[in-house]
Structure 1
Amino acid sequence: MTQIRRVVVIGGGIGGLTAAAALHLSGRQVTVLERARSLAPVGAAISLAPNSLRALDVIGLGDEIRDLAAWTGDGGLRTPGGRWLSRSSAAAAAERFGGPLVLLHRATLINSLAALLPPDAIRTAAGSTLADPGDARRPARVRTPDGELEADLVVAADGVRSAVRATLFPDHPGAVYSGFTTWRAVIPVPATEFASHETWGRGRLWGTHPLKDGRVYAYAAALAPAGERAPDERAELVRRYGDWHDPIPAVLAAARPEDVLRHDVHHIAEPLPAFHRGRVALLGDAAHAMPPTLGQGGNQAIEDAVVLAHHADDLAAYTAARLPRTTAIARQAVRIGRLNMTPNRALMAVRDSAIAALSLAGPALFLRGFDGIADWRPPQPPYASVVSGAGER
């Protein structure tokens, strides 16, 4: 592949903006095309593990995000009645993986990423289609309402329903329904103190975590038919989770119907044959959409972005570096989803007993499930000096 100078990024989400920033910092001319009218993301938070924070170190943003975010990990896993199945430790996670797990609003991360780019690099309300993926002899072409753009590299970060993926791999079945739906909300909850927790019930779960600005990030998931919706999603949450342990009733009482977002979960069950074709590279959900059960979807998109910038002149090397890793993590996320969303009472009892037994050995044993994930390191050094150890909060 010829030297990459002109880059078009389709999609202005976290993965697309991280790729744009990394490619811009490496000296490329970058244009980001986002079909929405603004970069403002939906009202939800994102958990970043040490692997993606080290990727953000590459573009000089890791320490800024660590400072803006809340450290997570002090809390654990509970039953709907409130019994603790396991307790976790932020310090133990930071020591094991060389850095903290953090939580922040998606808008905060989007704003920090966008600030790394020239103002004219981002075009909103800019729907686009891939007109030609290009090859070694000719550039790729992207069609926009204002005309066509030629590029030495097109980065497709256009999400789980990626039109670019369908163009590159028309015989691939695409994303499939994961079997469950999710709700998310970021809200202030007055006079409520609690430890972060995720609670597993029968075919459903709930999570509650504090953000650094004092608000609460709450999420829920439940087995449901694809496309099912309730007239009032807050009322639906009350019906499903209103009798679960504190602080869940208080969080539900503080939420308004308009605060609650609901989305069905889809994932790519059949891995793509490659993450590139011609002069086009796929990343994030467009390449390897996975259930949120490991909290790694956005983290893997950030990893993709810095690895792609490193291998921008050799997309086959990008595929070789990313496809095996993301395929393994996606499969693990599917397995975890089957475990924590099981409707089988007998399996629930076995699951809960096993988790409780593991927790007796301490949080480090429970963290082993993230070995090989959270301890990942990028293939290149950071552009700026950073502090990426466990540190002090």
Structure 2
Amino acid sequence: MRIGIIGSGVAGSLLAEGLLGAPGQEVTVFERVAEGEHAEAGTGLNLGPNALKALRLHNPARHAALRAVSLPWNRWTVELADGTPLLDLDMLEVAEEPGVRIRWSELYRVLRAPVAGATRHGHALEALEEDTAGRLVPVFRRPDGSLAREGGFDLLVGGDGRYSRLRALAAGEPVPEQLGLCIYRLLVSEADDCPFDDYGQWFEGANRLLAFRVPGNAVYVAGTFRIFGDTSIPDYARRPVYQRALFTPSSGQPSPAVTWMLERIERHFDDIHWARTQQAPILRHAAGGRALFLGDAAQAMVPTLGQGATQAIEDGVLTAAILRAGGDAEAVARLRDPRVAFVRDLSRAASDTILGTDPVAGTRKKGEPPFLDALRRLYTEVPERV
């Protein structure tokens, strides 16, 4: 079976590693960017305990490698912008092991290293064709502008993210649902004086700051605020004075943590990455099962519980196990789609406090048994066998 993986991101790299050396399977990964171009990509992220459980069960070498270059996610705290505490959750109350906090660049490095020999860089998917046997033939654009055809594949896997070119070509562009939220991200380096460490959230009304330390003496900061409807992010919102006003409590005295973040946001404002929060319909496969989608290519979701990359990890290792056992795209859908639907629904429900629910009442509900039971299910229900 000839398998082509479009994109060497989280799901694509883990799938390739899980299939390399499998009898009867030939695997090639096609990556759009040049080798090393992602070396300092992105900012930081947290991976949920379920990602680590999936790796521990199905790829213990990657589990150990990620632990070695990350910080543990042990606690989840929530406060108001003035420092009033609302939630302090020990992750081991709802999980079997901690999650992790890591830089995107380190995550890419650790996951891509085992599949470097099977990866062809500088291959941007341009079109799809079919050969005489009915197999999909990907057509790639190379950096010099020329086109490359790599022959027919029995299965093409889209691990090429939220704006998946493979999904667009095989099934049409998905129509995203805009949530009327802006989220911006910043990686602050040289953070010796940062007054916090582990995963925290701070609310002023529906406006939320989220932050945590990552390795390399850096801090990841994300801000979220309402923009309403399908509109773009207004220019007036992309100004330091506006952002300071969003997160300054009515008392006028932000907590030390919020004060520190606001000062760094102003100092590094030009380095902020801005985006609108959206989700897209789940689509697991197309083209009669010849195209399979994983991670954000299949299930782009709201980032509230940090399950985007986490579910990509589940996708990658579990899909590898299914394909090694002789399963197909339908088998992947049967295992993954109900799980992903639950995760998406829970992430959307957990977004209530950034969508207008009173942050005090909404956060306190997250410390009660129904939500904690849902978190426990999220963090522990990873199958050992497929």
TM-score when normalising by structure 2: 0.84
Q: Which residue in the other structure is 1:322 paired with?
A: 336
Q: For the Cα contact (< 8 Å) 1:14–1:302, is it kept in 2?
A: yes
| Counterpart amino acid of residue 315 in structure 1 | A
Please give the secondary structure, in 2, of the residue aligned with 1:305: helix
Please give the secondary structure, in 2, of the residue aligned with 1:138: coil
Please give the secondary structure, in 1, of the residue aligned with 2:122: coil
Equivalent residues in 2 for 1:8-27, closer than 5 Å: 8-24=4-20, 26=22
CA distance in 2, matches of 1:24, 1:237: 48
Please give the secondary structure, in 2, of the residue aligned with 1:265: strand
Q: Which residue in the other structure is 2:80 paired with?
A: 79
CA distance in 1, matches of 2:167, 2:47: 26
Q: For the Cα contact (< 8 Å) 2:128–2:169, is it kept in 1?
A: no
Please give the secondary structure, in 1, of the residue aligned with 2:86: strand
Q: Which residue in the other structure is 1:275 paired with?
A: 285
Q: Which residue in the other structure is 2:46 paired with?
A: 47
CA distance in 2, matches of 1:87, 1:307: 32
**Using a 3 Å threshold, how does the CA distance of structure 1 residues 230 and 34 change in structure 2: closer, same or farther?**
farther
Q: Residues 325-371 of structure 1: CA distance to partner in whole angstroms, max 9, x if unpaired?
A: 1122112222222x11133xxx41xx523644774x7xx87632312
Please give the secondary structure, in 2, of the residue aligned with 1:116: helix
CA distance in 1, matches of 2:8, 2:259: 36
Q: Which residue in the other structure is 1:223 paired with?
A: 226
Name structure 2 gaps, 5 residues minimum.
Answer: 142-146
Bigger CA drift: 208-217 or 172-181? 172-181
Q: How far did residue 378 of structure 1 move?
A: 3.9
Please give the secondary structure, in 2, of the residue aligned with 1:35: coil
Q: How far did residue 102 of structure 1 move?
A: 1.1
1:114 aligns with 2:109: no
Q: Which residue in the other structure is 1:311 paired with?
A: 322
Q: How far did residue 282 of structure 1 move?
A: 0.4
CA distance in 2, matches of 1:287, 1:357: 30
Q: Residues 31-57 of structure 1: CA distance to partner in whole angstroms, max 9, x if unpaired?
A: 222223423464321211222113323
Please give the secondary structure, in 2, of the residue aligned with 1:281: strand
CA distance in 2, matches of 1:148, 1:290: 33
Aligned with 1:160 (options 147, 162, 165):
162
Q: Which residue in the other structure is 1:238 paired with?
A: 244
Q: Residues 296-316 of structure 1: CA distance to partner in whole angstroms, max 9, x if unpaired?
A: 111111111112212224211
1:340 aligns with 2:344: no
Q: For the Cα contact (< 8 Å) 1:187–1:259, is it kept in 2?
A: no
CA distance in 2, matches of 1:326, 1:13: 19
Q: Residues 201-236 of structure 1: CA distance to partner in whole angstroms, max 9, x if unpaired?
A: 323211121123321111111111532154855554
Please give the secondary structure, in 1, of the residue aligned with 2:81: coil
Q: For the Cα contact (< 8 Å) 2:136–2:154, is it kept in 1?
A: yes
Please give the secondary structure, in 1, of the residue aligned with 2:45: strand
CA distance in 1, matches of 2:322, 2:76: 39
Please give the secondary structure, in 2, of the residue aligned with 1:371: helix
Q: Which residue in the other structure is 1:390 paired with?
A: none
Q: For the Cα contact (< 8 Å) 1:160–1:175, is it kept in 2?
A: no
| Counterpart amino acid of residue 286 in structure 1 | A
Please give the secondary structure, in 1, of the residue aligned with 2:263: helix
Q: For the Cα contact (< 8 Å) 1:11–1:33, is it kept in 2?
A: yes
In the comparison of the two structures, how many residue pairs are matched?
Answer: 360
Aligned with 1:292 (options 280, 295, 303):
303
Name structure 1 gaps, 5 residues minimum.
Answer: 382-393
Q: For the Cα contact (< 8 Å) 1:182–1:221, is it kept in 2?
A: yes
CA distance in 2, matches of 1:283, 1:329: 15
Give structure 1 regions of 4+ aligned residues with deviation exceeding 6 angstroms: none
Please give the secondary structure, in 1, of the residue aligned with 2:29: strand
Equivalent residues in 2 for 1:180-191, closer than 5 Å: 180-188=181-189, 189-191=191-193
CA distance in 2, matches of 1:75, 1:336: 14
Q: How far did residue 25 of structure 1 move?
A: 5.1
CA distance in 2, matches of 1:98, 1:134: 48
- Percent identity between the two aligned chains: 21
Q: Which residue in the other structure is 2:277 paired with?
A: 265
**Using a 3 Å threshold, how does the CA distance of structure 1 residues 331 and 377 change in structure 2: closer, same or farther?**
closer
| Counterpart amino acid of residue 312 in structure 2 | A
Aligned with 1:214 (options 214, 217, 222):
217
**Using a 3 Å threshold, how does the CA distance of structure 1 residues 133 and 341 change in structure 2: closer, same or farther?**
farther
Q: For the Cα contact (< 8 Å) 2:353–2:363, is it kept in 1?
A: no
**Using a 3 Å threshold, how does the CA distance of structure 1 residues 245 and 133 change in structure 2: closer, same or farther?**
farther
1:352 aligns with 2:360: yes
CA distance in 2, matches of 1:43, 1:173: 24
Over aligned residues, Cα RMSD in angstroms?
Answer: 2.7
| Counterpart amino acid of residue 112 in structure 1 | V
Q: For the Cα contact (< 8 Å) 2:126–2:140, is it kept in 1?
A: yes
Q: For the Cα contact (< 8 Å) 1:74–1:195, is it kept in 2?
A: no
| Counterpart amino acid of residue 81 in structure 1 | D
